[in-house]
Amino acid sequence: MKTIASLIFFLLFIFSACTKNNQVSINYQATGAISEYILYYQDADGVLQNVNVKPESAQDVYNIKFKGAQGDIVYVSGRYSDPNTALRITIKIDGKIYKQAANEGDTLTFLTVSGVVPYQ
């Protein structure tokens, strides 16, 4: 009985030591706009959210940060109505640029950046 308990403890120790932490830091970043725009994004729970952003200048950076896991879907999309503005959307994973896109003066289409958090 003592041998079986020792074996179970050893196996639990081995499996817990081999578990890799797959948690990552996700940051959606929007910048470059001089007038109000709306962002749609998928949050940590996979729920689609939206927020109206009113920047004071093109240098303002709007951040949405949360923890995610490898294999999670990341999605952020933005749209503005002022033809004199622009928008740059970036997705960063663990501080590194994963994907980004930009447009200027396009009031008809959504600027969308999306993907899947890569496995490492």
Question: Domain range spanning residue 56?
Answer: 22-116
37, part of any domain: yes
Helix residue spans in 1-120 (DSSP H): 2-18
pLDDT at 118 over 90: yes
Query: Do the domain assignments include residue 1?
Result: no
- Is the residue at 109 inside a domain? yes
Whether 4 is covered by a domain: the verdict is no
The pTM for the full model equals: 0.81
**Domain total in the chain:** 1
> How many angstroms separate the Cα of 20 from the Cα of each of 6, 16, 31, 69, 72?
24, 9, 34, 11, 16
Distance CA 17, CA 20 (A): 8
What are 102's strand-pairing partners?
88
Determine, yes or no, domain membership for 111.
yes
Q: Assign residue 105 the CATH number of its domain.
A: 2.60.40
> Alpha carbon 8 to chain centroid distance?
39
Would residue 12 count as lying in a domain?
Answer: no
pLDDT tens digits, one per residue of 17-54: 455 678 999 999 999 999 999 999 999 999 999 999 99
Q: For position 120, what pLDDT does the model report?
A: 81
Q: How confident is the model at residue 6 (pLDDT cuts 50, 70, 90)?
A: low
Take residue 43 and report the two structure tokens written for it. 């949050």
CA–CA dist 116, 51 (Å, integer):
22
Residue 3 located in a structural domain: no
